[in-house]
Structure 1
Amino acid sequence: MVTVLSLAWQTVKARTSGFIGAFVAILCGTAIVAACGILMESGFRGGVPTQRYAAADVVVTGDRSVRPSDGDALDFEHAAEQPSIPASLVAEIAAVPGAKAVPEQTFPALVVGPGGPLAGKPSFGHNWDSAVLAPFTLKEGNAPKAGEVVLDSALAAQAGVRVGGEVRVAVRSAPVTYRLAGVAEAPGKARQASMFFSEAEATELAGRPDRVSAIGVLGADADEVEAALAGDHVTVSAGADRSAAEFDDVSQTKSILAILAGSFGGYAVLVAIFVVASTLALAVEQRRREFALLRAVGATPRQVRRLIGVETTVVSVLAGVLGSLAGIGVSLGLRAAFARIGVVPDDFALSISPIPLAAALLIGVAAARVAAWSASRRPSSINPVEALGEAAVQKRDVGKVRLAIGSVLIVLGLGATAVPLFFGGQLGAAMSVMATLVLIIGLTLTGPRVVGAAVRVIAPVLARTAGVSGYLASANVLKNSRRLAAAVTPLMLAIGFAVVNFYSQTTFTAAVQQQTERSITADHVITGVTGVPAEVVGQISGGTATSLVRTQVITATRTADSVEVQSRPANGLDPTASGMVDLGVVSGSVDDLRPGTVALSDAHASWEDKKIGDTVEFWFADGQEAKLRVVATYEHDLAFGDYVLSAADARAHTNAGMDSAVLVKSADVTALQALTSRYPGLQVTERVAAQDRSAERTQFLLNLVAVGVILGYVAISVSNTLVMSTAARRREFALLRLVGTGRRQIVRMMRTEALLTVGLAAVLGSLVAAVPLGVLAIGLIGTPLPAGPVWVYLGALAAAALLGVVSIAVSTRLSLRARPIDAIGTRE
């Protein structure tokens, strides 16, 4: 083993240029995997410094993890709303020796100034007793009594009110005037605005007399509190985890990062394995003469495989260490990008430890070793007598097994493209992406056959029309279709993957917008800064109105051996909504939508085998279990989601306790404007303009960032592959020059090959994308043309063409710098 290691190290040092491609592929792949690992770890351990609970040793909140009883540890979903907990738990915690339990009420509350609600950051009301958890201390004034409020110092300054003055506060109703009893301060820079009411008033405003938002614990540790509350379905947080209990955006961010890193990391690992395998296969293929010589002088197949494996290990360990460290920078860049599009808070700190770096290193080395084993099978198994003769000529065809697997994958990919015709929504869009990946892998395996068939048609045209350079390029691609396929494949992957990921999202968004425009038939929509008080519906005269509450539900789909827990968009409507929304009702009636009932999309009802009168089980947005009776099924699931609840049920399970919007039909606009003047912060808009698409836009941008990173890696691998394959032809270029071919003719020959490479990649990449996107567009918007700007497609083609042409041109000119007589003697 020492001899093999020494030989491998000497080979790596002597053939540094030959290993650069594999080194770059492993380094970049490891960096992306390490970044995903850091993001995943941050989903469990990252966060922001706690503020409102800074003085509390432990914080007890409702458990936001929804887990079916028959699921395993990974079968869970994060509830969209923070559940409240029973107030009776205060006494249970207080029974812990030395513990002081402080209940906290938290509810949205806005200070209303002369120009409307004060904006800037989220604003919440609390009970004064919970001020000790920060701690908030009175800067001036005294604790609040009935009809009084205490503001934090920043909020009081923004409102321009002094102790003893009057301040207007809106909490789920029209603004109410309070006397400012005092001004409080807490250490540090606050992310939220806080105001405090008396205990009785805070309980009334929160609207939950027997429940509290959280319980802060002083003088006890987390283990003691967990033991006291065993079986109460609560979350006990200490240390950095307290910020997730305090800030809803931090809690959601941790969940998003964990899920995103898992899915994104899976794609990254697959792409990294694919890139590393193709790069190492190319590197090994270029050393045919070397391995042939080793076999001819007596090296056994096992020794050749071991040599390749040890060489790969040396390179992958060096690249993996550097890549893991580079992953820290990649993760910070991703965090900055996610913050810019609103996925994570600006002050969210990543948790960086050696664990994801070590895991990425192991994955990179393992992927490289597997790729090396696959690439080493052929050079290690050929007959020594045949080795030298075969080394000079490339194998003409692919293996039968590889061809069969590739053909099967192409058929499966084409079959998967039909899924959007039967299942719409995000599932259809996701299946289009998966179908594209399957098609690309299938074309990769059958690439030499596909490219060979194409060049047999194109090559004669080149030979007749492009002079000597065209003749040489034609001869090269005809005799080396495998080499051409190796260059075309990564470019095809980049084009197809980029186009499908972008246009599948834009087409889905267009379908949602299209269906929403057809489905919302109200004349006007009332929206607000933080929502619309539920009482507004009853105050609209001269027309009809209904509440619209946007929410989420969590479902569990059971198969033979697994449970899939999934969050789904849902809406809450009143029975009067039938005149203002068109759900495309298939059976039943929306008029029967009352508390305790639900309407299901027709597709979801069929999938779950539910009919009118059946009971459907799921979880509300705050994680509370629901068992509701089905009263209607409908078709317009893109606009309304798979579940439509009664507005009362949906509203009761949100922390805000308000409507997302109020739909109005045939009302006087002047009367509506007068109504909004009584509720500062409300506005009247046209029906479509009021539809909230921020979550979909954020998801779209999130996908673009994630896909952009993978495409960046693919672009590096494309350049890497093209440079390696071109640089390996130095002896070929030298021989052409020695027999009289001019330098410019070789450059033109390679330019012709480059154009042929990017042209084939553009055609195949477009075809790979066109089939899934065309079927998706037919299924979602009724036309074979996907929605979205055409310049993105043209830009993807231009970027791929520029990358391919520049990579080949640069490596060609570098290869031609050496004198032909010197280059002809260099090792392959």
Structure 2
Amino acid sequence: MLSLAWQTVKARTSGFIGAFVAVLCGTALVAACGILMESGLRGGVPTQRYAAADVVVTGDRIVRPPGGDVLAFEHAAEQPTIPADLVAKIAAVPGVKAAVPEQTFPAVVVGPDGQVLADKPSFGHNWDSAVLAPFTLVEGRAPTADNEVVLDSALAAQAKVWVGGEVRITTRSAPVRYRVAGVAEGRGDRQAALFFSSAKASEFAGRPGQVSAIGVQGSGDLAQRLEDVLANDHVTVSSGADRSAAEFDDVSQTKSLLAILAGSFGGYAILVAIFVVASTLALTVEQRRREFALLKAVGATPRQIRKLISVETTVVSVVAGVLGSVAGIAVSHGLRGAFARIGVVPEDFALSISPIPLVAALLIGIGAARLAAWSAARRPSSINPVEALGEAAVQRKDVGRARLVIGWVLLAIGLGATTLPLFLRGPLGAAMSVMAALVMIIGLALTGPRVVGAMVRVIAPKLPGLSGYLASANVVKDSRRLAAAVTPLMLAIGFAVVNYYSQTTMTAAVQQETTRSITADHVITGVVGVPAEISQTVRDTPGVTATSLVRTQVITSSQTGDSVQVERRAANGLDATAAGVVDLGIASGSLADLTTGTVALSDAHAKWENKKVGDTVDFWFADGRPASLRVVATYRHDLAFGDYVLSSAEARAHTVAGTDTAVLVKSADVTALNDLTGRYPGLAVTSGVAAQEQSEQRTQFLLNLVAVGVILGYVAISVSNTLVMTTAARRREFALLRLVGTGRRQVVRMMRAEAVLTVGLAAVLGSVVAAVPLALLAIGLTGVPLPAGPVWVYLGVLAGAALLALISIAVPTRMSLRTRPIDTIGLRE
């Protein structure tokens, strides 16, 4: 059977090209997602500050709720500290030569022009930890007094200061002058480093009895021994490339983001790949109906037909899968480059490539092809020879009852899911809109011949002229073929439109609610945050109302049946005086009661968790520390403030920076504010707070566009693939039309009319599939049924789909018409 399948594939190479391309592209996309996911686990950048440390011990950023499975975890947004007592415990482990505690805190140099030198992250440390890089003195000596500092050589040159000179440094307060005791040379340039005495560094870190990390130098299997000793201390032991995640917060965040993104993006990719491969293989098998009819007529058994199709598919999918897996390496680098350009991934983040994702993608590609082959082979292998020969001449007009039932059920489920954004606001509602559209698209794909057939019978007879008559006769008699061309085009249009406008609508809703909810006259912002003392100073000014604003996150868990769901949620820190400058839309309780140990919840989340004022709610802070706070208020404006509002002091305490994101001020006297911020380099007074969130939202928006764009690229290839296959398979039909007197131009115009009909039906169905969930999402978020966003994007999607379809139909049509009709009519299908 393998030999026969191989001979068939070689003899009908053109017939298998479509399936080959579908499997190759799908495998490449899945392999790229696998590489990104593995890079989220093992990738990174070369470590710098910990290059001389064999192992680095940090606080555990992985939150695992009790009762959850291995996949029930979340990555904390901030790096937690660890007890200083662990230094002695680690030093006692056999093989440890030195255990060096490190304190890390924000510290920025003020340049000669009075501006902060913040072109890259800048942190202060205790001088004892300099050996972990190592940083070596090239001039001067170590800092011993509280007013002394050692700068790295690049920072000293930028600040134009050397040993013996003075430099102004701001940590979490106004700048203070320090004498430069020395200049040190270290490794790399991702961060600027300042070193203080141990006592001063502990004071600046602000967490007595805690350290940021412990660098360990030793020999042997040190990491494993430390993991065994520290198993109950809630720490992470990092060695090798993982040390960079302990050193650089952006690398740690990137690794977490890549794992999450690749998982969700990969799920979409696998679903689309299976869908595309299945439709392409079904079309390939359908085009060989005469061959299978003849095999049935000469005695081939159903099992032999199924086995032949299965082996042929395996041969094609193995070759395509191997090439696609290798191509996935290039795709992953392209995605990494795109993510780096929009600021999601550091420019120097290196991917981790191993055979595991490549083999997994190959197996998924082969599995998808085998599943599609099994489904496509059911019809030609089950009918008797007489029916087979009859169906070879005239295509079947209807589809199976089971397929129709499944399709109608999916359409019903999809339509029902479109109503979820009316009850689930925020990103979850937007995600539900996309999923609802995708389910509806799959349902329409299954019911396509019936739906398209009904639409064709109404529209086709109105096509003008002889070419229109021919096109009408073709599509009415063979609506299944038209449905095969319409389906992927509809998928591309619907998927592109609903993904884009769901993001723009969500962004507009957040912007709208933020603008309405924040009633402050002025906003104080900073290049590296706003010192906490600023808000207190402003509040002490007569006639002024102000509050700190700390943008942060919390981690929550919920029980759904036997499974535990863990997720990060947006949160904010505010003062009890915030009621004068923000409007949370209080539903119950009072924001005036918001102090340390309390929390306000969004009304929707409180109802979901069955919490009310006075109850206690459990969650985890941004640094992974557990919290159990009393609810003092519930509010409605969750798009602007997230699901949790903490006291600003508590929110600050669980961030590394320890500063405010902004200070919101209700005051008409901007001059006094400018005088105050003038004493703090890097601070500025603006008139709106919404601008702060645009950068993060824009990054998320671009991230989604990149991910969706890659999938749409694959769908576009599938669209072209399907249209070329269906058109090229009609060359004998074109030859017959020409032999009975139809002119070449008439055939071209006939195909042009079919192409216009194909694009029109796809545009209508794709638009409807996108319009329903988008309208309900817009109602749920903004109160009006019109999605936000520029209309030219929608028009551009339609134009791109039309151009793709017209070219994919026109090119094979003209190529088929190049040969003489008498030569073409004798060719096999």
Which TM-score band applies after superposition, normalised by the shorter structure?
A: over 0.9
- Rounded to whole Å, the distance in 1 between the matches of 2:648 and 2:712 is 43
CA displacement 1:372-405 (0-9 Å, x = unmatched):
0110111111111222122111101111111111
State the match for 2:441 in structure 1. Answer: 440
Is contact 1:126-1:202 (8 Å) kept? yes
Question: Shift in Å at residue 230 of structure 1?
Answer: 1.8
Matches of 1:387 and 1:495, distance apart in 2:
36
Moved more, 324-333 or 223-232: 223-232
CA distance in 1, matches of 2:358, 2:689: 47
Return the letter of the residue paired with 2:205: A
**Residue 195 (structure 2) pairs with residue 209 (structure 1):** no
Is this contact kept in 1: 2:63–2:74, CA < 8 A?
yes
Task: Give the corresponding residue for 2:367.
Answer: 366
Matched residue type, 1:369: R
Residues 593-602 or 529-538, more deviating: 529-538
Residue 389 of structure 1 is matched in structure 2 by 390
What does residue 512 of structure 1 align with? 510
1:139 offset after TM fit, Å?
0.5
The alignment status of 1:263 with 2:252, answered yes or no, reads: no
- Please tell me the root mean square deviation across aligned C-alpha atoms, in Å: 0.8
1:197 aligns to what?
196
Query: What residue is the counterpart of 2:495 in the other structure?
Result: 497
Q: Deviation digits for residues 197-234 of structure 1, max 9, x if unmatched?
A: 00000000110120000000011410121122120010
Shift of 1:546: 1.0
Q: Tell me, in whole angstroms, the C-alpha distance in 2 between the residues paired with 1:276 and 1:115.
A: 62
Do structure 1's residue 533 and structure 2's residue 534 form an aligned pair?
no
Counterpart of 2:658 in 1: which secondary structure?
Answer: coil
How far, CA to CA, are the matches of 2:674 and 2:169 in structure 1? 21
Residue number in structure 1 paired with 2:140: 141
1:182 aligned residue: 182
Superposition pairs of residues 318-329 of structure 1, within 5 angstroms: 318-329=319-330
Query: What residue in structure 1 maps to residue 172 of structure 2?
Result: 172
How far 1:817 sits from its partner (Å)?
1.4
Q: State the SS of the aligned residue for 2:344.
A: coil
Note the C-alpha offset of 1:689.
Answer: 4.5
Residue 160 of structure 2 is aligned to residue 160 of structure 1: yes
Deviation at 1:693, TM superposition (A): 2.6
Write out aligned runs for 1:797-808 (5 A).
797-808=798-809
8 Å CA contact 1:585, 1:633 repeated in 2 = yes
Match of 1:79 in 2: 76
Q: Is the 8 A contact 1:30 1:320 kept in 2?
A: yes
Any unmatched runs of 5+ in structure 1? none
Deviation at 1:291, TM superposition (A): 0.6
> Amino acid of the residue matched to residue 140 of structure 1?
E
Deviations 1:414-444 (A, max 9, x none): 1111111111111110111011011111111
Is the 1:101–1:218 contact (alpha carbons within 8 Å) kept by the matching residues of 2? yes
CA distance in structure 1 between the partners assigned to 2:557 and 2:776 by the alignment = 29
Range 91-100 or range 562-571, more displaced:
91-100
Q: What are the equivalent positions in structure 2 for 1:241-260 lying under 5 Å apart?
A: 241-260=242-261
Match of 1:9 in 2: 6
Give the TM-score normalised by the residue count of structure 1. 0.99
Q: Secondary structure at the match of 2:453?
A: helix
Report the alpha carbon displacement of residue 688 of structure 1 after superposing the two structures with TM: 3.4
- Partner SS, residue 692 of structure 2: coil
Counterparts of residues 669-708 of structure 1 (less than 5 Å):
669-708=670-709
1:167 is matched by which residue type in structure 2?
Answer: V
CA distance in 2, matches of 1:58, 1:612: 46
1:102 is matched with which residue?
A: 100
CA distance in 2, matches of 1:569, 1:390: 59
1:173-572 to structure 2, matched below 5 A, reads 173-187=173-187, 189-220=188-219, 221-462=222-463, 466-540=464-538, 541-542=541-542, 543-572=544-573
Q: Give distance in 1, aligned partners of 2:677 and 2:754.
A: 68
Q: Please state whether the residue corresponding to 1:691 is helix, strand or coil.
A: helix
Structure 2 counterpart of 1:487, one-letter code: A
Query: How far apart are the structure 1 equivalents of 2:574 and 2:351?
Result: 40
1:22 aligns with 2:28: no
Deviates more, 1:572-581 or 1:381-390: 381-390
1:112 correspondence with 2:110: yes
2:45 is the alignment partner of 1:48: yes
- Counterpart of 2:121 in structure 1: which amino acid? P
1:20-51 deviation line (CA, Å, top 9, x unaligned): 00000000000000000000100111000000
What one-letter code is carried by the residue in structure 2 that aligns with 1:180? V
Which is worse superposed, 660-669 or 678-687? 660-669
Stretches of structure 2 that go unaligned for 5 or more consecutive residues are none
Instruction: Name the amino acid aligned to 1:40.
Output: M
Partner of 2:566, secondary structure, is strand
The one-letter code matched in structure 2 to 1:238 is S
Partner of 1:645 in structure 2?
Answer: 646
Query: Residue 492 of structure 1 contacts residue 762 of structure 1 at CA under 8 Å; is this kept in 2?
Result: yes
- Alpha-carbon offset, residue 411 of structure 1: 1.2
Amino acid at match of 1:196: F
Q: Specify the SS of the correspondent of 1:450.
A: helix
Counterpart-to-counterpart distance in 2, 1:98 and 1:185: 29
Query: Deviations along 1:52-91, whole A, 9 cap, x unmatched?
Result: 0000010000000000011111100000000000000001
Which letter maps to 1:36? C
Distance 1:636 1:191 in 2: 39
Contact map agreement 2:77 2:623 (CA 8 A) in 1: yes
Distance 2:43 2:655 in 1: 26
Q: Could you tell which deviates more after superposition, 380-389 or 709-718?
A: 380-389
In structure 1, the residue matched to 2:791 is: 790
The offset of 1:115, in angstroms, is 3.1
Aligned counterparts of 1:17 and 1:61: Cα–Cα separation in 2? 58
| Deviation (angstroms), 1:410 | 1.0
Q: Does 1:130 align with 2:150?
A: no
Residue 678 of structure 2 aligns to a residue whose secondary structure is helix
CA positional deviation for 1:694? 2.0
Distance in 1 separating the partners of 2:84 and 2:365 = 51
| Letter paired with 2:296 | R
The one-letter amino acid paired with 2:70 is: A
**Counterpart contact for 2:422–2:777, Cα < 8 Å:** yes
Q: Which moved more, 1:568-577 or 1:115-124?
A: 115-124
Q: Is the 8 A contact 1:521 1:687 kept in 2?
A: no
SS in 2 for 1:173: coil
Give the AA of the match of 1:170: T
Q: Deviations over 1:591-629 (max 9, x none)?
A: 000000000000000000001100000000000000000
Measure, in 1, the Cα distance between the counterparts of 2:173 and 2:796: 51
Q: State the shift of 1:119 in Å.
A: 2.5
